[in-house]
Structure 1
């Protein structure tokens, strides 16, 4: 009979378990560095004491993570990916509380039910150390005109006291099917946050964007896309930005 040394486990993949079972397993593995959790139910059947994972740096959660966020203490968490398929996700305050515990670098949201723009702003305000943001499937619907107004870098002196959102951000990966957000507005915002080899950094207080990929998920062929928009995106490369606009792995820029 094989004896499992739970305290020595550093990588754990929990497949399709109820939230109570997930938390019981996490309780027994205090030295985890990376874990994947697929939750089959989000409502616990019993109370749980806080689960402290002092070494966990990377986490992938599928389905509604609300109760996990209420229970986990993750001071070393470096990156998190949340995948929610058809579940109305409402744990914004729990997520911001979790992110405020740590120096966070990478956030990936893969959602069929998108967050509101103000909810996404609230999340980004909580993690100023973020360097990579991935918005997959319909998660990018949060990028409204109001979102862009706060996400852009403002060079105007009158706005110099405004706290810049995610000032260390250098990489974005965004899904687009034709309706999530306005690409010309997105291009203008990206341009405001770019490091330009010819003009110097956007600011000493902000790390300019270096890599952006827009993944086109619509069945519409990319060659049918508005040529003016494609031209605007291509011009961003002249500033030093590494930018891709792809479909099926093929970049047309």
Structure 2
């Protein structure tokens, strides 16, 4: 019960310790962009026990902004809690959510919990058992690092290098998508099969258009289906 499963440094924020993103990704005049940079739970838990989720949210954009951080539970998603945050640029703040677990079907139940800032969502798989004992988790693919060659010129190739890790307990397969823009579109995708604890680095690509005016910034996301990371890029 004292074991804490956690995801750290998943955001693309400039100034986030240990993150390998390009410092030019966020410009001073970029809008506010809220990311989940830490997520921890007390899973596994027993039937009827309290699941707690603590997280850190950071505004990686260039302006002060306000957003709702939603706590979403289950494969049939239900918002179980929400907090409103107002943060200046590059400032982070902790949030905590709680959820009362029910009686697991068949003595064992696995389901996702998510924190969603509206621009960035992180998923964690949690386990409820009759006695709260450890079980083998299913495959779960996370994006551990993202790097880009931003800024690029109009018509040039934007390259996104991502390291994907299976943090679950079983071998699994997933599509890793490169999602581009404020009106999101999948521009590239790769199918990965990884064993438990394995990781692989892949490169996804997107041909930039010609920006309006002197430059244009927009988000790109690397999405495994269970976890995604956002990075701001610049086309000049």
Greater RCO structure (CA 8 Å; 6+ sep): 2
TM-score by length of 1: 0.22
Structure exhibiting the larger radius of gyration computed from Cα positions = 1
Higher strand share: 2
Higher helix share: 1
